[in-house]
Amino acid sequence: MGMLGVKIGKIRLKNPVMAASGAFGYAKEFEELVNLAEIGAIITKTITLNPKQGNPMPRICETQAGMLNAIGLQNEGVDDFIKEKMPYLSKIGAPIIVSISGNNIDEFFILARRIDKIKNIRGIELNISCPNLKSKRLVAQDAKATYEVVKAVRKVTNKALITKLSPNVTDIVEIAEAAENAGSDAVSLVNTFLGMAIDIDARKPKLGNITGGLSGPCIKPIALRMVYEVSKNINIPVIGAGGIMNSDDAIEFMLAGAMAIQVGTANFVEPGICGKIVKGIEAYLRKHKIEKIEDIVGGLNDKR
């Protein structure tokens, strides 16, 4: 597998750097800026069963050391994805993982079954940070709902299954355990934190949706702590995400227990960042005479 190779479920990645869902579109947007084949895996923007309009404008604003977004999962739906996006994605050379979201268990089930039939898709990431209609909470805020969604999807696919967890919970370990018990091959954490920003002159929210998801360097310490907690308590791979801007950040997440990492907001700042992070991780391993990346996963010296 090479010194940087890692395994997530059935997927062998040539390096642990993944482009996060929502920050990399459907990859074509980055083709002139990035050597797409260098990336460990590409996770598509979330797709839903039917087309979604998304939230009212404005949808993005900058904050101190980060950004807020309230896109609202705007996408053209699964039929368009298969017909229009997949032919290009199939040719890239990096493993493609499709992020899916549904309004209820049936939608997750139907979507996963459709995606399972496409041989060029290597895995499915479940974006369960969408409202659960019954309780108005996010699926990822409820261990039982998380278990039910993962279990339903597991029944219809043999592809690698990654469950993306929301940090907007009291105890993220409990949710990760539910995903593992239901058959998820890995968990990725964290999705964005719920936040808001106000224009004091207009006395209005800066986002059309009022609140949005906070990402970027400002969330890194909290995301890192959550990855550390979760990786100590489950036996499936953890994929770390949250404010990773360079290879040092990526290595911190891996020392805390992440088998792979996802780069999101940094792609907006510097489109070629994923390739740079791969090179930086490799340089770190050589400097410290470490033969393979897996040797640093969970390698934090935290004994008091």
Residue 125: partners with Cβ closer than 8 Å, 6 or more residues away: 21, 43, 97, 98, 99, 100, 162, 163, 164, 188
130 is catalytic: yes
* Helix (H), strand (E) at residue 156: helix 143-156
Dist CA 158 CA 118 (whole Å): 12
**Which class in CATH covers the domain with range 6-54+72-193+216-296?**
alpha beta
Mean pLDDT of residues grouped by 10 in the chain (304 residues)?
A: 93 98 95 93 97 95 96 96 97 96 96 96 93 74 96 98 97 98 98 97 96 97 98 98 98 98 96 96 98 97 89
- Confidence at residue 132, expressed as pLDDT on a 0 to 100 scale: 60
Q: Parse the chain into domains and list their residue ranges.
A: 6-54+72-193+216-296
Amino acid at 152: A
- Confidence at residue 131, expressed as pLDDT on a 0 to 100 scale: 63
- Confidence at residue 138, expressed as pLDDT on a 0 to 100 scale: 92
In 3D space, the residue among 27, 164, 165 whose CA is nearest the CA of residue 95 turns out to be 27
Task: Give 202's strand partners.
Answer: none
Residue 166: partners with Cβ closer than 8 Å, 6 or more residues away: 128, 129, 138, 140, 141, 175, 190, 191
- Confidence at residue 129, expressed as pLDDT on a 0 to 100 scale: 84
Amino acid at 290: I
- Confidence at residue 304, expressed as pLDDT on a 0 to 100 scale: 79
Q: Model's pTM, two decimal places?
A: 0.97
Residue among 61, 130, 218, 274 flagged as catalytic: 130
